[in-house]
Amino acid sequence: MQESPKYWKGIEELESSPEFIKNAFNEFDYLPVSESHGSSDATVAPRRDFLKLMGFGIAAATLASCETPVRKAIPYLNKPQEVDPGIANFYASSYFNGSEYNSVLVKTREGRPIKLEGNPNSPVTRGGLSARAQASVLSLYDQSRLQNFTIKGKAAERAQVDREIMTKLAGTTGRIAIVSPTIISPSTKRAIAAFAGRYANTEHVQYDANSQSGILRANGGVLPSFDFSKADIIVSLAADFLGTWISPVEYAAQYITNRKVSADKKTMSRHYQFEPYFSLTGSNADVRVPVKPSEMGAITVELYNAIVGGGTASPRVAKAANDLKAHRGRSLVVSGSNSAAEQTLVAAINAALGNVGASVNTATPSMLRQGDDARMLRLIDDMNRGTVGAVIFYHANPAYDHPQADKVKSGLAKVPLTISFNEKADETGSLCTYGCPDHHYLESWNDFEPRRGSLSLAQPAISPLFATRQAQDSLLTWAGSNQSYYNFLRENWRGVLGAGNFQAAWDKAVHDGVATGTASPAPTPQMAPAMSVDQAVAAIASAPKPSGTELVLYEKVAIGNGCDANNPWLQELPDPVSKATWGNYVAVPRKMAEANKWEQGDVLKVTANGKAIELPVLVQPGQPAGSVSIAIGYGREKAGKVGNKVGANAYPLATVRDNALVYMTGVTLEKTGATSPIAQTQTHHTIMDRKSVVQESTLAKYIENPKEVTEYDKIATPEGLEKPNKVSLWQDYEYKNHHWGMAIDLNSCIGCGSCVVGCQVENNVAVVGKQEVINRREMHWLRIDRYYSSDASKKDFATKGKLDTYAAMEDPSENPSVIFQPMLCQHCNHAPCETVCPVLATTHSSEGLNQMTYNRCVGTRYCANNCPYKVRRFNWFSYYSNEKFEDVNGHMFTDLGRMVLNPDVTVRARGVMEKCSFCVQRIQLGKLEAKKEKRRPMDGEVVTACAQSCPTQAIVFGDLRDPNSRVAQIWKREDGERAFKVIEAINAQPNITYLTKIRNVETKEVRNA
């Protein structure tokens, strides 16, 4: 057999010397580096392996980074019948946070609630919506909500929790207390009753953080409903009825119907406000009298004496009393005091004036405050005595918001069974053994009766996000019922909706969100007895008068009692009067600050009743001399990332007297030496007598001649003084189809800030946090400018000289009048911003809109500099990815939070300019809807978010090309009377017209704002 031939590569191979064999497989013999290490360490990679791996790694990394990132967009496999991607669905619902009620429409997109709008069918809130209600949609997606049931803070199975609780409840010997704020849901009350039926020793304790127990006590356990539209004279004794008191949206709508004026209706109510701090309501009053907190009682007595007692009125209440007496049956006196004595007198005054049955209605009382201070105080004592066997907190947080929070905490330790339905492990919830978190209201079925006879429903607008359970379901389960709360609710409504076709009636009620009828049980009288007028007068006289500086606690429009403190939209919504955001402060009168050499931002130690907090100073014009005011609702410890440690908790400074909470006390103030800047969105407070910016006049002048209340800018031309638009560099635009425009009635705007939040929600406006507000970089597209009046004016030029006068005009008066001016992009026809953009990123649309093209913007900010109205907002940072904003703007960082974003509006990138678009997405939708039906959009179909949310209809939006639209009518009607454009002389020709504010003051003299 022949061997196969063998070939050699060289003679060396043939010879196969040992040297050759050694090197045969070592290709790069001459290299100083050996191919493999002799190292015994297996982890050391040989050079070639390293290179191979590196090469592979680079290639793989390159390939991977070339790939488009995967964005999960899952189409519906089984599309729900009512959901069309890209088309919003609206569901009627109701918002009630324990103090404020709004009937709402929930806008959902692809099954996610993204915005709330007012429900125009509601007889209570009439389509208005408060800032807090607007913002509540964000609370749904709050990461700090409890995501499942807990036992001692640790996640637990719901069944196990139920088992343990039911066992313990069955074995409870002491009293069982359910602690909640006011509950206006009839069915919830029945669910509580069902629970009480099973556990006989149950007591339902309601208390309100900002208590109105006094008015309930004075009126036999009922809270009369008020109608401000039926009052020609309104006297408010520290009741902030437009901002925070009981039902501000409802009252604002009533209030304004009697305040709107036109050439055909030259009447309006006169509003007196006596108050110990500067409230939103006070800033709208025609006559505002600052009164020291301790003298509010005396004022009430004086007013009572002047009207009922028949004595001569003291000078400070004389005018109000005379006006009241001249308008018997057409007036209204309200008091925000929690003192039953003062409320007794107020009730007597209203009765004496014949207002009961007109502006005061006890037949269909309001249900919005049912808290009983005495009952809560007794419970706290009982808890400490150890006689309470179980306590269930239902959205109540007394460990934070009760003045006796310390006693609540010590008492809780002595209660064997503690359960919390609170949505979060908040100050109280975290002290409870069992956390049984309730659904968010947008995930719940519920009913409400804000006013007897007016019912409304809440329906879930989304499946529960977390493993929570509706509190009523929990109560029913523990009561041993197998019925779901939904069925329970329906059963209750059978009685309301009558005997006819229940399903049809129910469907209509769910659809409308509101129904008439009553389902609430009779009111429980307050524990403390009512008092007679004489007792009341005596009680006021004997009330202790603090010597020295006095403190009054108040509630802010945005943050309220603090339950929504974790909502960044509310934290960043400026206080209507002080324009401060992110925290509370000690509001001191200017003279006090000067006397003590306090500068704004100096931190003071505030000591009252043996408790001390530290807060910065804010110099507040209009704060009564010798007194200071501090807002409650701040200083949360366990609200969540946003709300924790913002400001300081002022609740402990409140006191208890006569079984009622008293929100005023004597204080000592000491400078600590520290400073803490206050984040204000406005730091210059006076108008500098610039009439062309904002205008006001008096009713007397208006009645005399409506054509003389507004001063129009004129420019000098060879033909004499002319309207500014007579001379122009630019050609006018021709609008062939639509011309969108707006009218803002300064007489109707109360400055509540609802539009600001509405705009923020609609347009995905970023929250920037305290430091960036201090840096003056808040992003609000719509702001409300607030101007205080000054004692100086241009009239002083001749006598005092220009320099001194200008300096003096910077200082507000001691008790200034206030004017609010919503300021947003004016959509100028000759827009200064449009000409200066080098890349045409901001242009004019064929419908009169000034459009911002984010994609094209390179961010020179020239447009913002050249905007006379300063409404343009620059994206200084990447607010959705820069870690600095993760706490405050967190909803743009997580998938959960991003569900709230409006998919129709871009989230703006870093480095681009943004501003009000007149809600162009809503305009587009309105046009398309009309087009589908082959018609033009009707007036009122296209509404911007701000106009939609305004409780007083101060903002009217529409098509100026449509002569019958409301906005066109107003422009036409008010032309030459109240309609003016801001700084008209520069001829930017805005598409927004403002209407001059009219004050119903006694004089004809216009005070300089």
Q: Which is nearer to other proteins, 442 or 824 (CB)?
A: 824
Q: Which residue, among 926, 962, 954, 955, has the nearest Cα to 942 in the 3D structure?
A: 926
> Is-contact 296 342, C-beta < 8 A?
yes
**What minimum distance in Å lies between the beta carbon of 835 and other proteins?**
5
Nearer to other proteins, 122 or 991 (CB): 991
Q: Are 189 and 183 in contact (CB under 8 A)?
A: yes
Kind and range of the H or E run holding 412 = helix 405-413
* Closest separation in Å from C-beta 764 to other proteins: 18
Query: What is the smallest separation between the CB atom of 20 and other proteins, expressed in angstroms?
Result: 47
Q: Does 864 bind other proteins (CB under 8 A)?
A: yes
In the complex with other proteins, which residue's Cβ is closer, 277 or 787?
Answer: 787
Contact stretch for other proteins (CB under 8 A) within 166-174, 290-298, 551-559, 855-863: 855-863
DSSP string of 487-537, one letter each residue: HHHHHHHHHHH-SS-HHHHHHHHHHHSEEE---PPPPPPPSSPP--HHHHH
Rounded Cα–Cα distance for residues 80 and 638 (Å): 38
Torsion angle (degrees, nearest 10) of CA 707, 711, 712, 715: 130
Quick one: 477 exposed, middle or buried, by C-beta within 10 A (0-12, 13-18, 19+)?
Answer: buried
C-beta closer to other proteins: residue 605 or 777: 777
Which stretch in 68-76, 446-454, 617-625, 776-784 sits in contact with other proteins by CB under 8 A? 776-784
Which is closer to other proteins, CB of 527 or CB of 864?
864
Least distance in Å: CB of 383 to other proteins? 50
The residue (of 473 and 696) whose beta carbon lies closer to other proteins is 696
Specify the DSSP element, H or E, that contains 216.
helix 213-218
First to last CA, the chain: 121
Nearer to other proteins, 624 or 816 (CB): 816
Shortest Å distance, C-beta 859 to other proteins: 2
Q: How far apart are CA 460 and CA 189, in angstroms?
A: 20
By CB under 8 A, tell whether 487 contacts other proteins: no
Binding part of the chain for other proteins, among 66-74, 548-556, 679-687, 929-937 by CB under 8 A, reads 679-687
Regarding 858 and contact with other proteins (CB under 8 A), the answer is yes
Per CB under 8 A, the segment of 81-89, 187-195, 329-337, 873-881 that binds other proteins is: 873-881
The two most distant CA atoms of the chain are separated, in Å, by: 145
- Which 686-745 positions form the footprint of other proteins (CB under 8 A)? 686-688, 690, 693
Q: Is 913 in the site for other proteins (CB under 8 A)?
A: yes
Q: Is 882 in the site for other proteins (CB under 8 A)?
A: yes
- Residue count of the chain: 1009
Q: What is residue 307's DSSP assignment?
A: I
User: In the complex, what is the shortest distance from the CB of residue 543 to other proteins, in angstroms, rounded to a whole number?
Assistant: 41
Residue ranges of E strands in 238-384: 270-275, 287-290, 331-335, 360-366
> In the complex, what is the shortest distance from the CB of residue 724 to other proteins, in angstroms, rounded to a whole number?
12
**Contacts with other proteins, 979-1008, as mask; x by CB under 8 A:** ---xx-xx-x--------------------
CB of 898 to other proteins, least distance (A): 21
State in angstroms the smallest separation of the CB of 917 from other proteins: 17
- Determine the Cα–Cα distance for residues 932 and 919; give it in Å rounded to an integer: 20
The reply on whether position 601 binds other proteins by CB under 8 A is no
Radius of gyration of the chain (CA): 33
471-478 and 485-497 helices, crossing angle to 10°: 100
DSSP assignment, residue 424? S
Smallest distance, other proteins to C-beta of residue 825, A: 13
Stretch 802-841: interaction string toward other proteins, x if CB under 8 A: xx--xx-------------x-x--------x--xxxxxx-
Per-residue b or e along 7-35, where b marks 16 or more CB atoms closer than 10 Å to that residue's CB: eeeeeeeeeeeeeeeeeeeeeeeeeeeee
- The nearer residue to other proteins, 487 or 728, going by C-beta atoms, is 728
Asked if 910 is part of the footprint of other proteins (rule: CB under 8 A), the reply reads yes
Only one residue has tokens 């004075």, namely 218
Please give the size of the binding site for other proteins, defined by CB under 8 A.
62
Which span (107-115, 210-218, 454-462, 859-867) binds other proteins, by CB under 8 A?
Answer: 859-867
3-class SS at 821? Answer: strand
Residue from 657, 856, 931, 1004 that binds other proteins (CB under 8 A)? 856
Shortest Å distance, C-beta 593 to other proteins: 19
Sign of the alpha-carbon dihedral angle for 17, 22, 26, 32: negative
Should residue 434 be labelled a site residue for other proteins when binding is judged by CB under 8 A?
Answer: no
Choosing from 453, 814, 876, 897, the residue that interacts with other proteins (CB under 8 A) is 876
Amino acid at 871: V
- Alpha carbons 502 and 485: distance in angstroms, whole number: 18
Pick between residue 503 and residue 881 the one whose CB is nearest to other proteins: 881
User: Closest approach of Cβ 1008 to other proteins, in Å?
Assistant: 13
Q: Which of 875, 989, 993, 1008 binds other proteins (CB under 8 A)?
A: 875
- The CA distance from 111 to 115, in Å, is 12
Strand (E) or helix (H) holding 454: strand 454-458
Query: Applying CB under 8 A, which of residues 785, 904, 959, 977 lies at the interface with other proteins?
Result: 785
Tell me whether residue 234 or residue 818 sits nearer to other proteins (CB atom).
818
Which residues are CB-neighbours of 795 under 8 A, at least 6 positions away?
none
Interaction between residue 683 and other proteins (CB under 8 A): yes
522-546 exposure pattern, b = at least 16 Cβ within 10 A, e = fewer:
ebeebbbebbebeebbebbeebeeb
- Among residues 909, 930, 938, 1001, which is the contact residue for other proteins, using CB under 8 A? 909
Q: 328 in helix, strand or coil?
A: coil
| Under rule CB under 8 A, residue 217 binds other proteins | no
Nearest approach, Cβ of residue 911 and other proteins (Å): 3
Token pair of 647 as six digits: 């400001």
Q: What distance in Å separates the CA atoms of residue 559 and residue 771, rounded to the nearest whole number?
A: 19
- Taking CB under 8 A as the binding criterion, the range among 173-181, 302-310, 557-565, 850-858 that sits at the site for other proteins is 850-858
In whole angstroms, what is the distance from residue 744 CA to residue 997 CA?
10
284, 242 contact by CB (below 8 A): yes
Stretch that binds other proteins, among 343-351, 609-617, 779-787, 965-973 (CB under 8 A): 779-787
Given CA atoms 89, 93, 94, 95 in this order, what sign does their dihedral have?
negative
State the Cα–Cα distance between residues 509 and 725, nearest whole angstrom.
53
Q: Closer to other proteins at the Cβ: 221 or 868?
A: 868
Among 190, 375, 873, 922, which residue sits at the site for other proteins (rule: CB under 8 A)? 873
776 binds other proteins (CB under 8 A): yes
- Using the contact rule CB under 8 A, the part of the chain among 9-17, 461-469, 606-614, 682-690 near other proteins is 682-690
SS3 188: helix
| For other proteins, the closer CB: 271 or 997 | 997
Q: Are 603 and 633 in contact (CB under 8 A)?
A: no
Residues at the interface with other proteins (CB under 8 A): 682-688, 690, 693, 772, 775-778, 783, 785-787, 802-803, 806-807, 821, 823, 832, 835-840, 856-862, 864-866, 868-870, 872-878, 882, 909-913, 982-983, 985-986, 988
